Amino acid sequence: MRSGGVAFESWDGALTFLATTAGGTPQVIVIDEFPYLVEQNPSLEATLQKVWDRCLREAPVLLVLIGSDISMMSALTEYDRPLYGRPTLEVVVEPFGLHETAEMLDLPAADAVDAQLVLGGLPQITQEWRPGMSMWDFLEEQLSNPTSPLIVGGERILSAEFPEEARARQVLETIGSGERTFTTIQRRAGIHERTQQRALAVLVGQKRMVSAERPLSSRPSRETQYAVADPCLRF
């Protein structure tokens, strides 16, 4: 780790240096992909807790921890973890909504809906949509390029989120193919009921890639409807 040409052998040293050199000048420290860093260095949470309590809490420092895995970021602040009770604000950065997509692409309402269903509000893919393009122009250009973000983005997400969760990915693909209920998903995926329950727990509760909703009815319904939550991933 380096800061201003100075090398550090530990996170403790680097964070302490940043805190003690802040003086009276406000600083912002941003640590990206924090869950990945914790996975590589399990002691990082405890180190950050120690430095925060000892130095950073009283320093004019805004510490921002960023991670793409929502379930892991949420787990970092649970009761039995070192950082419990320390974050002052937790924010989930959502994709662009329909209004933001329409504004960014300067599209009328109906075309913006089509664009949102394809793009899912993901900035990296949305910026590939050039002014004046129709949805079909965009798709023709993107699908003819095997390295386009539209093609590789979803595959990279799946590979990163499910490196060892083959069953969860299988259930996700089954839901994406149009199956909506527990029974039809199980029948098409061909897996055991308990295996499917565990896979859905990962997809719905941990990864939030699948929504689980019950039909609105005057009679209580047990027929939960499952759907891929992100429109771009569903596309």
Mean pLDDT, rounded, for 123-134: 90
Mean pLDDT, rounded, for 24-37: 85
Mean pLDDT, rounded, for 76-103: 86
Q: Does residue 1 surpass a pLDDT of 60?
A: no
Extents of the domains making up the chain:
2-75, 98-155, 164-234
Q: HEC states along the chain?
A: CEECCEECCCHHHHHHHHHHCCCCCCEEEEECCHHHHHHHCCCHHHHHHHHHHHCHHHCCEEEEECCCCHHHHHHCCCCCCCCCCCCCCCCCCCCCCHHHHHHHHCCCHHHHHHHHHHHCCCHHHHCCCCCCCCHHHHHHHHHCCCCCHHHHHHHHHHHHHCCCCHHHHHHHHHHHCCCCCHHHHHHHHCCCHHHHHHHHHHHHHHCCCEEEECCCCCCCCCCCEEEECCHHHHC
pLDDT band of 9, cuts 50, 70, 90: confident
Domain 164-234 classification at class level: mainly alpha
Q: Which residue has the higher pLDDT, 131 or 8?
A: 131
% the chain with pLDDT above 70? 94
pLDDT at 221: 67
pLDDT band of 2, cuts 50, 70, 90: low
pLDDT at 116: 92
What are residue 184's phi and psi, to 5 degrees?
-70, -35
Mean pLDDT, rounded, for 148-165: 77
Mean pLDDT, rounded, for 141-155: 88
Q: What is the pLDDT of residues 191-235, one digit of tens each?
A: 888 898 888 988 888 788 899 988 777 776 678 899 998 877 888
